[in-house]
Amino acid sequence: MTLIEHLRELRTRLFKASLGVVIGLIGGLFFARPVQNFINEPYCDFKGDAICQFNVGSVVDPFMLQLKIGLYIGLLIASPIWLFQLWAFIAPGLHRNERKYTYAFTAVAVPLFAAGAFLAFFVVTKSLVFFLGMSSGDYEINVDLTGYFNFVTGVMLLFGLAFEFPLALLMLNFAGVLSAKRMLGWWRAAIFLMFVFSAVVTPTPDPFGMTALAVAMGVLYFAAVGVAFLNDRRRARNQPDYSGLSDDEMSPIEDDREPVAAPEPVPVPEPLDERYDEIVQRQRNRYDDTT
DSSP class per residue in 184-216: HHTHHHHHHHHHHHHHHHSSSSSHHHHHHHHHH
Q: 12-45: per-residue pLDDT in tens?
A: 989 998 998 899 888 888 888 888 888 888 777 7
Domain count along the chain: 2
Q: 59-104: per-residue pLDDT in tens?
A: 888 888 888 888 888 888 888 888 888 888 887 877 777 777 777 8
Q: Which of 40, 66, 93 is the last residue of a domain?
A: 93
Please check the confidence at residue 192 and state whether its pLDDT lies above 60. Answer: yes
**Dihedral sign computed on CA atoms, order 200, 203, 209, 213:** negative
Q: 101-124: per-residue pLDDT in tens?
A: 777 887 888 888 888 888 888 888
Of 15-29, 145-159, 204-218, least confident by mean pLDDT is 204-218
Banded model confidence at residue 248, pLDDT cuts 50, 70, 90? confident
Structural domain of 187: 94-236
Q: Which of 186, 221, 236 is the last residue of a domain?
A: 236
Q: What is the mean pLDDT of residues 241-264?
A: 71
Q: Which residues contact 174 (CB under 8 A, 6 or more apart)?
A: 101, 231
Residue 224 lies in a domain: yes
Tell me if the pTM is above 0.75.
no
Banded model confidence at residue 285, pLDDT cuts 50, 70, 90? low
Same domain, 166 and 220: yes
Banded model confidence at residue 244, pLDDT cuts 50, 70, 90? low
Cα–Cα distance between 127 and 159 in angstroms, integer? Answer: 15
Contact 173, 179 (CB under 8 A): yes
CA distances (Å), 62 to each of 66, 68, 71, 183, in order? 6, 10, 14, 47
Supply the pLDDT for residue 15. Answer: 92
- Please give the mean pLDDT across all residues of the chain: 80
Please check the confidence at residue 213 and state whether its pLDDT lies above 60. Answer: yes
Please check the confidence at residue 135 and state whether its pLDDT lies above 70. Answer: no
Supply the pLDDT for residue 197. Answer: 87
Alpha helices in 91-206 (DSSP H): 96-133, 145-162, 165-174, 180-185, 187-201
Same domain, 108 and 141: yes
Residue 257 lies in a domain: no
**Amino acid (1-letter code) at residue 228:** A
Supply the pLDDT for residue 287. Answer: 57
Q: What is the mean pLDDT of residues 125-141?
A: 67
Nearest Cα to Cα of residue 224 among 260, 182, 272, 183? 183
Please check the confidence at residue 50 and state whether its pLDDT lies above 60. Answer: no
Same domain, 128 and 219: yes
